[in-house]
Amino acid sequence: MSEAPMTLTGDLNVPDMPMTDAQVNHLRRLLAWMRCEWMLDPDMQRGMMNALETMHASGDISDEYATAEVARRAEQINQVPAYVRQAVKMLTKALRDHERRAGVVDAEAR
């Protein structure tokens, strides 16, 4: 898929780590799971809020349920340690930079 392998940069203790296409695909799936399961992506959070608003407006859920669900999701997000949220952001950026260099384009960007 990619012309040049993705390389996770290291530091003084850990060397740079070139990744195979299979490893890059595993990273994609891991990041997608983290964003979906733990609501770490702002788009996922907006989607959840829009869904609750729509269900509330149609009378499918009560004010109490909508409020409780927002509080539950906020607590779930807060349970994810800050260093994990930061790692997801950094790995997502590294993956997007790699895909840009490899010529991978988002469907929306076409």
CB 56 within 8 A of CB 48: no
Q: Determine if the pTM surpasses 0.75.
A: no
How is residue 61 annotated by DSSP? S
Beta bridge partners of 7: 18
* Angle 102-103-106 from CA coordinates, rounded to 5°: 120
Which one has a higher pLDDT value, 108 or 102?
Answer: 102
- How far lies 17's CA from each of 9, 49, 94, in Å? 6, 38, 13
Which one has a higher pLDDT value, 2 or 39?
Answer: 39
Surface-to-core class of residue 77, CB atoms within 10 Å of its CB (0-12 exposed, 13-18 middle, 19+ buried): middle
Beta bridge partners of 18: 7
Please say if the pLDDT value at position 10 is more than 80: no
Which one has a higher pLDDT value, 110 or 37?
Answer: 37
Dihedral in degrees, nearest 10, Cα atoms 28, 32, 37, 42: 140
pLDDT in tens, 39-96: 888 888 899 999 999 999 999 999 999 999 999 999 998 999 999 999 998 899 989 8
Please state, for a pLDDT cut of 70, what percent of the chain lies above it: 91
* Angle 10-36-32 from CA coordinates, rounded to 5°: 40
What is the pLDDT averaged over residues 24-31?
92
User: In the structure, what pLDDT confidence band is assigned to residue 2 with cuts at 50, 70 and 90?
Assistant: very low
Q: Give the pLDDT of residue 1.
A: 46
